[in-house]
Structure 1
Amino acid sequence: MATTSLSISVVEKRMMNMTEAAHYCGIAVRHFKTLCPVQPVPIPPKYKQYDRTDLDKWIDDLKAGLETASQSAILDRL
């Protein structure tokens, strides 16, 4: 009986173009342009790329606001 071993190394992209960034955030590109406050990083000579860590921070900040609002709503009902 033969056995085979496969070793795969996956490197996550940190920088993404607008389409990739929108998909990463789960937003349509047309909505991403208006909703996302994250500024792209200019990479010479002509590229503008979104940093994954900046996108993550934006999403985390959105979630933090929801948690605070939810806690306040619960306390108001008591």
Structure 2
Amino acid sequence: MLSLQVQPYRMLKKSDAAAYCGLPAARFEMLCPVPAVAYPDGSRLWDVRDLDSWVDSLKTGAADSDDAILEKLG
């Protein structure tokens, strides 16, 4: 049996982004350096891919991204 969890949306409201990261909404923006994407109508949403990258970077021993490695070499 295979159990998959699929994120239905790429862009999340603040409360959903906080829950996705396992943080209370009140502390999410204080702790998370990922900027929200500003839409033309003034709404602000967080990209799941950016949140994933941030959480991955918090893990000890996490491998650097290709861009980070090139920047260190450059």
- Give the Cα separation in 1 of the matches to 2:42 and 2:29: 19
Task: Please provide the CA RMSD for this pair.
Answer: 1.7
Count of residues paired in the alignment: 57
- Give the Cα separation in 1 of the matches to 2:31 and 2:7: 28
Q: Secondary structure at the match of 1:37?
A: coil
- Give the Cα separation in 2 of the matches to 1:58 and 1:29: 17
In terms of fraction of residues, the more helix-rich structure is: 1
Partner of 1:67: 61
- Give the Cα separation in 2 of the matches to 1:30 and 1:14: 22
The alignment's TM-score, normalised by the length of structure 2, stands at 0.70
Match of 1:46 among 42, 48, 57: 42
Match of 1:27 among 23, 33, 54: 23
Q: Give the letter aligned to residue 67 of structure 1.
A: G
User: Cα deviation per residue 1:28-63 (whole Å; 9 max; x = unaligned)?
Assistant: 011112000000001111110000000000000001
After superposing on structure 2, the runs of 4+ consecutive aligned residues of structure 1 that deviate more than 4 Å are none
- Give the Cα separation in 1 of the matches to 2:55 and 2:7: 22
Partner of 2:69: none
What percentage of residue pairs aligned between the two structures are identical? 40
Structure 2: runs of 5+ lacking an equivalent: 1-5, 63-74
The alignment's TM-score, normalised by the length of structure 1, stands at 0.67
Task: Work out which of the two has the higher radius of gyration on C-alpha atoms and give 1 or 2.
Answer: 1
